[in-house]
């Protein structure tokens, strides 16, 4: 009989066996997968685990605070927060290619984890137990789409799978790698995580870095963050969060179009709304959002966000489009 309880027990046993008495660190991203992976590994190895949250500056409004509050409050797990926003902006300067962005973001992640791992050991004065393991919330669809599953597909190097540097010094613990999202949610509930975490919409590890089509800069991030916050507020207010799988908000940073505001001509950027419905992110359809909700989002974004003078709706399914634009 397959039950969430049996599955949790099996996964916990698996982690214990894999990690033994070593120390591990867990990369928290704010998403469901990494939270469930962290909670699971914590159940398995307790305080041999340290959770690390890297604020890469590519997060949405309020996200860093939320991870801190939610996760630490809930699990009481040891949490280290690393503020790396400047470092990421420097590394990403001038980069426009999506796969290069992922590679840079993934590489910086690992370098930060390596440093953090050394710090943890130094802080504890316990060099007998180095941090050997890195926990990742990789799911089955990530494995498949990064080419690790069947060896056939290589669509995107999701950074928690394919975008890691080759000389990585950690061994990976990926307790969710055979699960689909709905199973991960059941495991999360079984571990006692609340619905507000378990039903959170997916958000990619590279964050807003792959939602700015073009170079990532601090100014562009501020524009996108403001537009994204408005879209999320309105979708939540309309009670649509559970119906939508996720809704990337994308800034076409190198595109400008002419508009008019007050007495003047504007020459601003378009924002793309990409609401999708899906079961597992491997295929998706565009969500038929009510027109009045779209109108409110569009009205607010063009009014409230400087430099954005147009909002467009992506009506492409996956395939042929992917969910993210990069
Ligand atoms: P695509 O764009 O490939 O996205 O249709 C499928 C799902 O994966 C998420 N995604 C990522 N997640 N690192 C991640 O952790 C990534 O590089 C990445 N790229 C896409 C995307 O948000 C969607 O849920």
Q: Are residues 168 and 222 in the same domain?
A: no
Q: Say whether both 83 and 152 belong to one domain.
A: yes
Number of domains in the chain: 2
- Sheet containing 49-55: which strands, arranged edge to edge? 79-83, 49-55, 23-28, 131-135, 171-173
Residue 322 lies in a domain: no
pLDDT confidence of residue 319: 98
> Does residue 202 have its Cβ closer than 6 Å to ligand 1?
yes
Does 134 lie in the same domain as 20?
yes
Q: State which ligand 1 atom lies nearest to the alpha carbon of 325.
A: 2
Task: Assess whether 79 and 160 both reside in one domain.
Answer: yes
ipTM of the complex: 0.99
Question: For the domain that residue 148 is a member of, what is the CATH number?
Answer: 3.40.50.620
Nearest CA, atom 12, ligand 1: 204
Q: Which of 198, 225, 260 is the last residue of a domain?
A: 198
Verify whether ligand 1 is closer than 6 Å to residue 323 (CB atom): yes
Cα separation, 49 vs 40, whole angstroms: 11
Answer yes or no: is pLDDT of 110 > 80.
yes
Q: Full-prediction pTM beyond 0.80?
A: yes
Q: Are residues 158 and 25 in the same domain?
A: yes
Band of pLDDT at residue 169, cut at 50, 70 and 90: confident
Q: What percent of the chain has pLDDT above 90?
A: 75
Residues 269 and 161 in one domain: no
Residue 323 resides in a domain: no
264 annotated to a ligand binding site:
no
Q: What tens digit of pLDDT does each residue of 7-55 get? A: 999 999 999 999 999 999 998 888 899 999 999 999 999 999 999 999 9
277 assigned binding-site residue: no
The Cα–Cα gap between 91 and 261 comes to 36
Asked if residue 82 belongs to a domain, the reply is: yes
Residue 318: inside a domain: no
Cis omega (within 30 of 0) for bond into 236: no
Mean pLDDT over residues 71-76, rounded? 72
Range of the domain at 216: 211-313
Identify the helix (H) or strand (E) that includes residue 34: helix 32-45
Pairing of the two strands 249-252 and 264-273? antiparallel
Mean pLDDT of the chain, nearest integer:
91
Say whether pLDDT at 150 is over 50.
no
Q: Is 30 in the pocket of ligand 1 (CB under 6 A)?
A: no
Residues 66 and 188 in one domain: yes
Task: Identify the CATH number of the domain in which residue 282 sits.
Answer: 3.30.300.10
pLDDT tens-digit map of 299-314: 999 999 999 999 999 9
162 and 241 in one domain?
no
Distance 323 CA to ligand 1 centre (A): 7
CA of 124 to the centre of ligand 1 (A): 36
160 pLDDT tier (thresholds 50, 70, 90): low
Q: Tell me the pLDDT tens digit for each residue of 228-280.
A: 999 999 999 999 999 999 999 999 999 999 999 988 999 999 999 999 999 98
> Ligand 1 in contact with 158 (CB < 6 A)?
yes
85 in Cβ contact with 57 (< 8 Å) = yes
* Domain assignment present for 325: no
CA of 144 to the centre of ligand 1 (A): 12
Same domain, 153 and 182: yes
Is 204 inside any structural domain?
no
- Backbone torsion region of residue 264, taken as left when φ is above 0, otherwise alpha when ψ lies between -120 and 50, otherwise beta: beta
C-beta neighbour count of 116 within 10 angstroms: 18
Within this chain, do residues 174 and 223 fall inside the same structural domain, yes or no? no
Among 200-204, 273-277, 296-300, name the one with the lowest average pLDDT. Answer: 200-204
Same domain, 124 and 215: no
- The structure tokens listed for 222 are 């501020």
* Ligand 1 closest atom vs CA 31: 15
Helix (H) or strand (E) holding 236: helix 218-237
DSSP 36-79: HHHHHHHHHHGGGEEEEEEE-S-PPTTHHHHHIIIIIHHH---E
Q: For residue 324, report the distance from its CA to the centre of ligand 1, in Å.
A: 6
Q: Is the CB of 281 under 6 A from ligand 1?
A: yes
Q: Who has greater pLDDT, 70 or 178?
A: 178
Q: Is 320 within the bounds of a domain?
A: no
Share of the chain above pLDDT 70, in %: 94
Cα-to-centroid distance, 68 and ligand 1 (Å) = 23
Question: Does any domain span residue 326?
Answer: no
Ligand 1 near 188 CB (within 6 A): no
Least confident of 74-88, 148-162, 218-232: 148-162
Tell me, yes or no, whether 290 and 151 share the same domain.
no
């Amino acid at each position: 009989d397959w039950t969430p309880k049996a599955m949790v027990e099996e996964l916990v046993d698996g982690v214990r066996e894999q990690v033994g008495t070593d120390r591990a660190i867990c990369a928290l991203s704010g998403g469901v997968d990494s939270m469930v992976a962290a909670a699971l590994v914590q159940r398995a190895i307790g305080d041999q685990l340290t959770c690390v949250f890297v604020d890469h500056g590519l997060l949405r409004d309020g996200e860093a605070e939320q991870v801190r509050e939610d996760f630490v409050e809930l699990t009481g797990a040891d949490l280290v927060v690393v503020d790396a926003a400047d470092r990421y902006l420097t590394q990403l300067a001038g980069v426009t290619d999506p796969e290069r962005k992922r590679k840079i973001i993934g590489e910086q992640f690992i370098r930060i984890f390596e440093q953090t791992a050394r710090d943890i050991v130094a802080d504890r004065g316990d060099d007998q137990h180095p941090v050997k393991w890195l926990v990742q919330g990789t799911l089955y669809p990530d494995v498949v789409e990064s080419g690790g599953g069947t060896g056939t597909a290589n669509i995107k190097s999701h950074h928690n799978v394919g975008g890691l540097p080759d000389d990585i010094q950690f061994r990976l613990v990926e307790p969710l790698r055979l699960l689909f999202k709905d199973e991960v949610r059941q495991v999360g509930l079984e571990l006692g995580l609340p619905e507000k975490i378990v039903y959170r919409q997916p958000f990619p590890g590279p964050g807003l870095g792959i939602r700015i089509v073009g170079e990532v800069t601090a100014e562009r991030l501020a524009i996108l963050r403001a537009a994204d916050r408005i879209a999320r507020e309105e979708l939540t207010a309309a009670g649509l969060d559970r119906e939508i799988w996720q809704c990337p908000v994308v800034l076409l940073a190198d595109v400008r179009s002419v508009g008019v505001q007050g007495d003047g001509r504007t020459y601003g950027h378009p924002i793309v709304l990409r609401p999708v419905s899906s079961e597992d992110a491997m295929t998706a359809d565009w969500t038929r959002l009510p027109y009045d909700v779209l109108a409110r989002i569009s009205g607010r974004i063009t009014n409230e966000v400087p430099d954005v003078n147009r909002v467009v709706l992506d009506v492409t399914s996956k395939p042929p489009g992917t969910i993210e634009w990069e």
